[in-house]
Amino acid sequence: MGGHQMLLLEQQKNDKKWLTRKTKPDLVVNPDRIIRSVELFAGAGGLSLGLSEYCRRVGFRHKIEFAAEWNEDIMDVFLTNNSPTTYSTSSVDQMFDGKLKLGRRLTKIEKSFVKEHPHAMNPDVLMGGPPCQGHSNHNNYTRRTDDRNKLYLRMVRAAQVLKPSTVIIENVRDVEKSEGDEVNIATKHLEKMGYHVDHKVLCAAHYGVAQMRYRHFLIASNKANPEFHQLLDLKVNKNRSVLWA
């Protein structure tokens, strides 16, 4: 057996041990570094889990300042696994209801949000997975024209209000085919706000997940250019099966 195969087997063994553990892994905290995040369209908290695990691996604390998910049952799942400073089950488009025009004043509702959740301002990361049904190829009724597609741009408005350092928007692979052109509109607005923006489709199977799930990620940063090539260099375990999982 070659060295590469041995490495993959050891990695699978370690991953299985991590995935089946009954307690959370230890956190070695660097007291000088806290990653503050806001998650909109939070669902059960998949993005927060990923960010928390990254922070754990590098020894940082992760603090979820605010989370929004309109489905109360799903928010209960989120709260079971996370402890956000505050949260809401209101619709995101009701919380961030202003127009996208640069320099647009905050609406009364947005001013109220800022007053109620000052801790959510200037987070390190604003992230969210807006509804994807209207972009999915499995939707034969409202594909590309679904009104929910417009919720993608509420992430941009939230960035205008909250002023995060980094924005991450996750969606299905075909979001770029929407008739509303949301990805290009979001990119242009974020660039006008001073962000460096890039987007790419990534496959979960390339990163050790036993599922051929493709997802589109838009990343914007006011600190540096997003570097997707670093992720592409990390491709591993392309052939993990559902049986393994």
Supply the residues annotated as catalytic.
Answer: 132
Query: What digits encode the pLDDT tens for the residues 102-149?
Result: 778 999 999 999 999 999 999 999 999 999 654 444 444 444 455 557
Whether pLDDT at 225 is above 90: yes
* Contact by Cβ (8 Å): 17, 48: no
Mean pLDDT across the stretch 172-197?
A: 94
Residue 3 — pLDDT band, cuts 50, 70, 90? low
* Gap between the Cα atoms of 184 and 50, Å rounded: 26
Q: What is the pTM of this model?
A: 0.86
In DSSP terms, 219 is beta-bridged to 168, 198
* Gap between the Cα atoms of 199 and 86, Å rounded: 29
Predicted local distance difference test score (pLDDT) of residue 102? 75
Element containing residue 34 per DSSP (H, E): strand 34-40
Task: Measure CA of the first residue to CA of the last residue in the chain; give whole Å.
Answer: 23
Predicted local distance difference test score (pLDDT) of residue 143? 47
Predicted local distance difference test score (pLDDT) of residue 79? 97
Whether pLDDT at 154 is above 50: yes
Predicted local distance difference test score (pLDDT) of residue 142? 44
Whether pLDDT at 212 is above 90: no
Select the more confidently predicted residue: 66 or 232.
66
Predicted local distance difference test score (pLDDT) of residue 156? 97
- Quick one: tokens of 104? 């647009």
Instruction: Select the highest-mean-pLDDT range: 9-13, 57-61, 94-98.
Output: 94-98
Fill in the DSSP letter of residue 190: H
Name the packing angle between helices 182-192 and 154-162 (round to 10°): 10
Predicted local distance difference test score (pLDDT) of residue 201? 95
- Quick one: tokens of 23? 């307690």
Label the pairing between strands 196-203 and 214-221: antiparallel
- The rounded percent of the chain whose pLDDT value lies above 70 is 88
